Structures are given as structure tokens and as C-alpha cells.
Structure 1
Amino acid sequence: MGSGRDKRKKAKERKDGPVVGVGLVKTEKKTAKNEAKKERRAEKRLEGDEDDIDALLARMALEEKAKKGAPEVTADVEPPGPRVSASFQPYITPRGSFLFLFGGEYADVATDKVHVYKDLYRFDVDKRKWSKIDSPNGPPPRSAHQAVIVKNTMLVFGGEFTSPNQERFHHYKDLWRLDLTTWEWDCLPAKGGPSARSGHRMVLQPLKNRVLLFGGFYDTGREVKYYNDLWELNLESMKWTSLGPAAAGATGQWPSPRSGCGMAVAGDTLWVFGGYSKAKDDDDPDLEHGKTMEDIWACNTTTYTWERVKKVGMAPGARASFALAVHAHPKAGPRAFVFGGVSDNEAKGGEDLSSEFHNDLYTFNFERRRWFAAELRPPPGSKKGAGDEAAAAAVGTAAGADGAASASAPPSAPASKAAPPGVSQEQADKLAAMTADKGSALYRAAVKIQASYRGYKVRKAYIAYRVGGVVSELLYSPATFGLDLSTLNMPKPKARIGALTAVVANTLWLLGGTVEVGSKEITLDDMWCLDAVKLDGWQLVRENTVGEELLKRAAEESDSEWEEAGSGDDGEDDSDDSEEEREKAKKGKAGSSKK
């Protein structure tokens, strides 16, 4: 019937001609009906609570699409607010030196809500002034992404968007390009490239005109997957190529999956250090526990063969989410600065998680394959106490310049020196003699503790190292034995994770980061700089404005805890935090380590 009727209809149209407007009206009605359905579906997608990732991203996409006009640059604006896990890239031009900050996130202390950004800032290094660049049709908000600057463009890959209550996550696999001359964004094809992820690392390898990407993680909400794949982005074709571990020719050793690691390129070698991952429990395969790593890997980027490098020198311990920036030292050659990070100590099954945040500074010399504690020197003209030369040698001041300069060895201790209270003269003489012997176990232990720990953590350190007795006098009163450690009290950034660092010329810049106090995440907004050659002290460019009362209270409580521990406290936790708050704090610590 249907086909016959169609034939009769067509025959009538051939005889009488088509009815004018009938087909058009019908088509218009159908189109209008379909458009109405699309609008209803779109409105439904836009509905949802604050943790509905799809609705949040859909609303933001509509807002971005509605933006019109050319990009605008606003000069001399207020510095960016508190920020962590953003990208922070140097850009050197004949007109001046700049740092570009894009994206990142901020945990509001008052509301416990997380805000993710898509804003773009430019910092003029010479003038120390900020500009904000508003460019329509750019990437959606993200943090824990990676960026590199190539000639006059900035490339951004991946990252994540977190719902305000940190209940849901969306990971990106898009590749964006920003023209630094027109401020226009464009999204490049990502077909055949790395999977969606955040917490990965990406570096430029100028010698081969390419970008290398390694690692990262993907969180579905039910499980977390960690990666150890290596990718190449060819800067001529703008195409991705997988380099392993399944790539042809990639054989032998290979770093384990991880995120929140450090990565750098020096010549033909790619370096990877530390990071964080989840591992299956040996006793119960259904359980997982977090692992913070301290291994160092070097990859030959011609053969794609990896080797695990032995830790030599004064190396940092296991850590993740630290800041890393590469500096070309005029004498010692290329090296990496490593600042801060977190060491998570998680029991099997994840039932107990304790974290230690760091604010120590290390350098790694690529040519010598050696770590150094980058201890600071007093600025020229400052007052020196007796024994400064000995202190310089003891805490590795010479090593801070990667062997480019050397300090004199500590002078031999006198045969007899007045003993401090509570220490016999015999003990004092013995200790003085041992500290004069750089080869002694006591000397090495004391140097390591002094270089790695500050304040109340010294008490924890000498307990951990199991060196008691008179060595405590060296730790508490080093000046008594000619080890004046006054430089350790010089101003320096707080311990933190996710800080933004970059080197411009011979200056190391540091901005933001996060520290956790109980269940609270405090995102910082302070800014510091350090002469990377002289190492004559951190300069505070902008003071922190967030959570100072909480940070101060936490420091006081930490001191109090160690005093009680020293008095024989049983160490039980009498915190008023609820189980829910403790679980939230544990979740936050593990999440931060990934990035």
C-alpha cells in the first residue's frame, strides 16, 4: 500500500505539478520540532548539582562559545590568586623575559570547595608586573596539565577538571596551541595520541624538534590507572608517536607507572625522578596501597633504552608532586633544581596514610649524575659567626654550586673545649674530635640531618637515624662545636606540593603550591626568587595571603606534639577530627600526590 500510494502521489504531481509550499512547510515544521528537542536535551544536560561534571562542562562550553571580540591584554593587574598544579613557562624574547601561567586550581579554606581555572597570566620578570590575557574560545578549565613554549607558541596537553566537592573528575586528552603574538587559541587534532590523563610530565627536546610526554594517571572514580608510556609529539607534523614501552626497539628496563614525578631533558638524555602510584597488595590482590618513589631513570632518546641510575651524593628521599626546573649553570653545566614535594607513607590496604611535606632544595648535575643539597650562603656583607666556614662545609654549601666552587674543610677541633650543660668534658672532647673527622659515621649522620631537617623535625630525624647520646648536642647546639648553622634560619618558602617553578636567566622563580593541615587544603599565593648561581638566599616577592592562622597553629601543634613525644607520650591521637574528616584528609593527600 505505501509504495503504491507513493507512486500515485508522484504521478499526480507530474500531471498537476507539486503543491506549492506544502513540502517546505512540512520540512520547516519537522526542523523546528527537532530543534526544540535539541534545546530540551541541551537544557537537561545543563541541569544538575555542583558535582555533575557533564553539566558543568556543558555550561562552560556554552559560555565560551558566546564570547565575541578580539583577545584583550590588561596590564598591571593584581597577581594571580592562590594556585596549584598550573603550568608556569618561561618565554625569552628580544623585548624582555616573561613567565606564562595557565590554569590550575584553588581549594577554598572557608568552604572546602575546589575552583579550577582557565585564566592566562603573563609575568614581566624585569618589571615584576603581571598582565592578564583574555582570549575567547580557549581551553576549558584544568589543572595538573602540562605546557611547553616552542618559539612563539605555547602547547597545552591534558589535565583534569575537578568538581567543587572533589567527588568527580574529568580527564582531558586534547592538545591546544596558543599563538603568543596574536593570543589566539586553536585545538589541534589529538587522534592517535596519548589517552586522557593528568599528573603526567611533558618537556621540550630542542635538538630533535619534538616534545616528549611520560606517565600520568586516569581516575574513573572507581579505580585509578597509572601510566608509564612515553610519547613523542613531532613539532613539524604535529603528530603523536608512541615510543614505548610497547614500541619496537623498546626493550630491557623501563620505569614503573607513576604520576607526579620530575622530568627533564639534557642533550640526548631524558631523566625521570620519583613520583607516586598505587600498587597491589602482595598478600591481598584486592587491596592497593600508595607508593612514593625515589628512583632515578635515564633514557637514551635515540635508542629508547632506559637505565636505572644509582643515587650518588646527597639525594632527596622518596617524594612526589615536587617542583623541578632546569638551569644551565655557567661553570658546572646543566642541572635540575628540585624543591619541596610530599612523601606519603601508606600502610598496606590504605588504612593509614601519613604525609610529610618538604621545603628543601636540591640540585642534580646531569653530567656528573650526582645530587647536591643546595644550601644557601649568607649574602655578602652579612654578619658571620664563629665557625661559619665549618658550617659551610658541613651542610654542603660548596655542593650547592655542584662542585663549581669549594669551601675550606672544617678546622681541627681543639684538644679541649668547654662542655655544654649536661655533657661531660670527656664527651665534649670526643664529640669535637669526631666532628673534625669528615670520614666518621657521626659526622656524616650529623651533616645529613642538618642539611635535610629543620626545627622540630631534627628530633624526629635523630630518632629515625638512631643516633642518640651526645650527638643530640651537635643537633641542638651545633655552634658549641664550631658548626654555626645560622644560614638555616634564612627566610625560605614553606613546605608545599605542586609549587610552580621556572628558571629565567640565572634566577629561579617559585609561586604558589599547597600544604595540608588536617582535612584542610591551603593553597598558597606567595612568590619567591633565588639567584641560582650565588644561592645567597631566597627573596620574598609577594607574601602569602591565605590560611596563615591555620599554618601558624599547625606549626605550634607540631612543636607541642614533639615535646610531648620526648616526654614519653604514648603517641595516641586525641584529635577531635571526625572519621569523615580524617577520611577526607587521607583522600586529599593521596590525590595531591598524583599531580
Structure 2
Amino acid sequence: PLTRAFEAADGAWREFNLLQVSRALCVYDPAGDRLFALGGSRQEDWALPLAGPHTWHALPAQAPRAYINARWSTLESSQARVYFLAMGQSDRIEIHTLDPATGTVAAITATGESPWQPAAPPVFDPVNQRILVYGGGITDPYLTDPHVWALDLLPTPTWSQWAPSGTPPPPMLAQAFSFAILDPARRRIVFTTSLYDGPGPLSMWALTLDGTPQWLRFATNGLPSGQSQSPNPVTYDAAGDRLWTIGSQCEPYDLSLDTFQWSQEPAGGPIPSPRLDAGAVIDPLRHRLLVCGGVTPSGDDTHSDTWALALDGTPTWANLVPEATRPPIRGGAGDGHDTSRGRLVVFGGSDELGGLRNDTWALDLSADPAWSPVATQGAPPPSRYWHASAWDPKRDQLVVYGGYDGDPYHPWGDLWALSFTGGTPTWSPIAPAGPAPPARMLSQLVYDSARDRFLLLFGYDGFHELGDVWELRLSPTPAWRPLAPGGVPPSARAAEMCAYDHARDRVLVFGGGTSDMSTVGYLNDVWALRFGSGDGTWQQQSTTPGPTGRNLGLLRLDGAHGRLLLFGGYGVSHVEGNVTEIEYLNDAWTLDLAGTPTWRSLSPSGFQPAGRDRANGAYDVLHDRLVLTCGGISGSNDVWTLELGGLPTATLIDLASREVAADHVRLMWAGATPRQAVTLYRREPEAAWRSLGTRIADGAGYVTLEDHDVKPGATLEYRLGVTTDGVETFFGATRVQIPRWELALSARAAGGSVSFAVELPSAEPATLALFDIAGRRVWNTAVGHLGAGPHQVTADATLPPAIYFARLSQGQSQRHARIALIR
């Protein structure tokens, strides 16, 4: 899976499984044979090796941070340098550069007056070493009189305004924010938007680059979809001398640069799901269109997959990086930490457009967290968000109360349980006896494990913040009871954060909000509802200075280290004089609960999650980390962990990592007692378990197995057995699918010779061939007789120093490699 990890004294943020991105600038990197996805919605830079394995890797972070996307950037391929637009002084643009290999961002210092922000992407002209932009008059921010501007890079960067001959396009072209593409064969810029300009057919425009620049107008049929321009980027195919793009349904279109006629091309293979604002670029080595990410047409999710459309013969799609399984984006969902199964159960929430959900998902909290939908039976609760929820470990169920149903004055006041006992998880309403609490949203439900009861605290009834506390008991008969704690209570509030501190038998309350729109409405006080006798006693906690006032943050108890963990929320970010900034926060804090509660601000290393409120999460004691998911102004479905350090003594042994190849399996389990003896077992599905012998856990409690007695294509299951007082208990069961050998090729040049690492799936006829840069075959050999598996092959030919391309063919499949032979 795609991950990023960092180490620091205050922990390390780590993101799992997804490269969800839209509007990224996609670039082919010929030096490394990689696909770059730069900037876009994530404003991060990533690389995907195209020779495999197809796993995204983070590139160095931009320094300083820049805003790069497909519509405002261009590439100088010979230097692997990106030029992009940035806003300078007086709302005029500047051109900045990015070196993707180092993350270095720099501004180009230029003479002359630069334009207002243009209406089309910049275009780099490699012949004349200049950047051209279209749109943005000298004093015309509304683009009713667009101009053409050039930034000549040599000898010194200088801006100038062009005055092309010919009939210019209508201002509508500038207002359409058209894609602009360099046509290197004809030395012109092609604007890919189709418009009606008076009577007659649709038109497209091009601007010549050599001599006196001239506007050219061409009749076109327009995109078959009827749109004036593509919802996804347009890219130039040098081998086919045409432009390619995809429509919102991922249907391929190409444009002839001789006739300016668009054609929809039928495509084979599995079709990518619909999307807008994807990244797209041509892979010239394999002659295919690469597409990554994009948003769904409804706008409620961002894709994480990567596709390739082969352009030779009938265009055919192939999935390079599959879409990760994940819930639709959401915020304000309820959750419960199912510790017996090591997962977080999430219910409901709202989407980016304010729609309400009532689906259920589970986030597995193993070493690599993964989502799966929860199939339930029984009528589920009506859709909602801002509901209260908690896990009921005694009855193995998620309990949900109240929430927002779209009517701000009449929140829900119902109670539900999703039971996981007896097979398929089942929803059922609960109707407790006794007086019920006022219906509410933005409240908190916590489980008091010492008394087997739930506590409902505070909230908002549609008109006022509440300051009450209710007890909910589910045994022997469900019943509500209002509590009357002693002491001075906290002020009424909603959207507070709560946790039950079982070691000290109390509920801790932090922050929350009131209807006061000033900073007073964002609270940062800490309270304890202490139990022992009666209905408990309120006591405000004296703490060291800590987080700013906020609501809807993620607060979880780390009982192993006696502290609270806090992330984000919505509240005060900065106060300067009479100016207070309120925003979505992404700071992290701990509150040490021993003695005088002490706040400490954490500074975890690496990339951080976006600021958010309404998030879901859990403290994962097995891996000593805070798990964060969902939440934010528009909702999300990303998964982050804040890795906090040493592994505490575990109550379960869990699979920490696995490596599965055609010739071996390597598994590692975590959570055993250091130096503990465990028994390893293996079986084929439904067969009897067979002991693989005994292993000793290392000093950190890890157990490692390397199994080389495997066959490609087999399915195997593994588990650990721990014997205590003569009774053996089993942990960490996992199933693996041994992959079959695949067609694979890599090449290495050394000492004037070329050698190849070849992997064949079968003994069918196969050919390995070497071509020079002009496409002439200079060497080939048959390799199918070598049989399935990995092999080493050396080219028995004397070759002059040059760039070569290798091709391995077997049946309808091919693999390629690039070699630079130097003597």
C-alpha cells in the first residue's frame, strides 16, 4: 500500500492506502521511466514507477510550498522542470519553477510588466526558450480584451506583449479557460475549446510561434459529447501526431491536428469509473495514455486509481493502480472502537453536498489499516450526522443516539443498536423506559465500564446548548435516568469532547462551543465528572496552558500512558490584537493525567493531515498510535495514524506486516511477550493445521516467519499458537494468495554488455529483443524454453554506446525496459 512515514520525538504522521488527487499535473519522467503527479488537490508531489511495481512514492516536499495544477502549469521536458503561474504583486502573475526531483521551488525574476492572471495554461516553447500565456489584459481583469504575453527566458527573463495578426478568437475563449497545447510539429499553440463565433460551424483556434505570430481559425465538429471542452486534460501524442483526452465517462477522444476533427475511439478492457479533473499524459515509451485520480461527477469523492490506455491498434484500458476500498467521504459520523476485533466501526455522517448517510463501515486497525463495508440486516436508523455513539463491549454492539436530520430545530432523539452477536450485524431500535432526554445533536455518549452504563452529556436541542447528564442502562431493562451530579457544573455547551478515564473512574470533558460567535464561544476548559458515590461530582481541572478554544475535535484516551490525545477541531487558530482567526485545526496535543493535568503540544514530523472537525478515530493500544479518519468541512475518507513511539504490552498478537511473492512468504506478528515461545501453523483452506515448529519472539515482541515451501497460485493460511498453563490459544490468523509468476523485465548495462532479469509465467514461446532509439532491432533471442520463473539473460552482441529499448514478448503480453550503454 501507499504509505508515508516519518520519525520524530513527538511522533510521526503516516498516511495509508490512498493517493486521492484531482487537478494534478501529470508528467512523464523519461530519466526514471516514471509518472509524476504534481500538486493538484493535495498539493504534494508523487512518482509511480512505470516498469513496476506500480506503487506511488512521495517525492521531496515542495520548498517553499507552491500551488500547481494541470491548468496553470507547463513542462520543460529536457530539464524535467515545471513552470507554473503564481500571483505576484498588484494581482499580476509571476512564473515560478519546480524541480520535482528535489522539491525546490523558485521564482523567475523578470523585467517588463507581467499580465493579469491569464485564462489558459502557460505553454513552454523549447525552440525559442520562452513561455507564452493567453488572456489577462493590462487593466482588464474581466478578460473582455484578452492579450497574448511572452516571457523570454534568454538572455535574461523579460516580459513582452504580442500583437498577433489574423482574426483573434472571441473573448469567450479566454472566459472558457481553455486548455492550451503545444503542437511541436507545426510550431503553434492549439486551444482545445470549441466555440461558435458568429454564423457557421464550431471553431477552434491556434497561434503560430515562429516569425510574426498569427491567429488561425479552424472549423471543427466539437467533442462528440457536445461539450465545448473536455472535463479532463488534453495531451499531445507525438507518435500519433494528435491530441488525446477522455470524457467524464472515461470515453477516449482524439483530435486530428490536420483536420481539427474530434473522434470518439471505442476502447476495450475494463473501463475506468467516471471522473472529472483527472491527471493525464502520454507514456511515449509504451505509446499509451496514462490517467490518474480525478473527482466523481457528483463531486462527493476523489479517485485513487491509475489507468493506462494503450494507443496502438484498438485502444485498450489496463488498471495499473486499483481503486482502494473506502467509504464515500463523510464528516460528523458516529463511531465505536471494537477492541475485540481490532477495528473502528463508523456509521452515518454527511457528504460534501450536505447529504445524509446511514451506511456502516469498518476500519481494520492492523498494521496497515483497511476499510470494508459492513453488510447489515434489519432496518437501519434514518440518515443523520452529529449523532452520539459508543461501543458496548459487554453486548458486542454499536449504540447510536440522536443527531441531525436536516431540520436544525428538530434533531433526532431516538436510540439504536447494531448488534454483532449471532452472525450478520443487525440493527434494532431501543425504547428505554422512564423519562427520555430532550432530543439533541452535537452531544457525547461514553461507556462507563465500571457500572455497565452509558452517559449522555450536553448537546444542542435546536434552540439552546444543554448542560445535562443522563444515564442509560441496557440491562436488565433499557432505561434512561437523569443524573444530578454535585459540585459546580460546567456551562452548557455542545460539540464538546469527552472520554471515560477508567483508571480514575471519571468522565473528562474538554472544550465545546456555545452560540456566542466571539472567541468566548469556543471553549478550552477541562472538567472531570468524578464517580464514587451518588451521581458523581463535577470539578474543573486546573491545567497548564494548552490548546485554544475549539469544538468537534478528536479526543481519545491513551490508557496505557495515562493521557488524553487531542487532534484538530474547529476553533481559534490565532489571536492578534482585536483580530481572531477561526479555522479548521490540525494541531495535536497530549494531556498527562498524572498529578496536575499537563498539556503538551506535539510537533510530529512529516506531512500532516488537513485541518478538520467532525473526525472519527481511536487510540490503538497495540500499535501505540492515534488513528484518524473522515471529517472536515467537505468530508473525507483518508486514513492517518499518529505513531507515538514504543509498543506497550499487548493483549493480543496481531499480524504486523506481510510479504508475499511467487517463491516465498514472509510474515511478522507483533504483540507477543518478549522472548516468548510460540508455535507457527500453516494449512491450505479447509485442511488440517500443520505445525511449522516453534519460534522465539524477539526483544520487542515480534515473531517472524519465512516460508519458502510455497507454490505459485496456492492459497495458504497461517496462525500463531501460545500455550499458557497447558491451554493453547491462537492469534494472528491470516490468509495469503501466492502469486503466479508474471511476465517481467529489467535490464542492466555494465562493462559494455547488457544483461536482463527476465520473469516468465510459463514455457510458452517468448522473445527478448533490443532496439535502438530509431526503432531498429539490433538483437533478439528466444527465451520461452527457459520455463516459468526468474532467469538471467545476457545479450551476446557487441553494441556501440547508445540508448536502447528492450522488449520481452510472450503471447499478447509485452514488457519494456530502457538501457543506457556507456563505455
TM-score normalised by the chain length of structure 1:
0.44
- Where relative contact order (Cα < 8 A, 6+ residues apart) is larger, the structure is 1
Scaled by the length of structure 2, the TM-score of the pair is 0.33
Greater fraction of residues in strand: 2
> Which has more helix, going by share of residues?
1
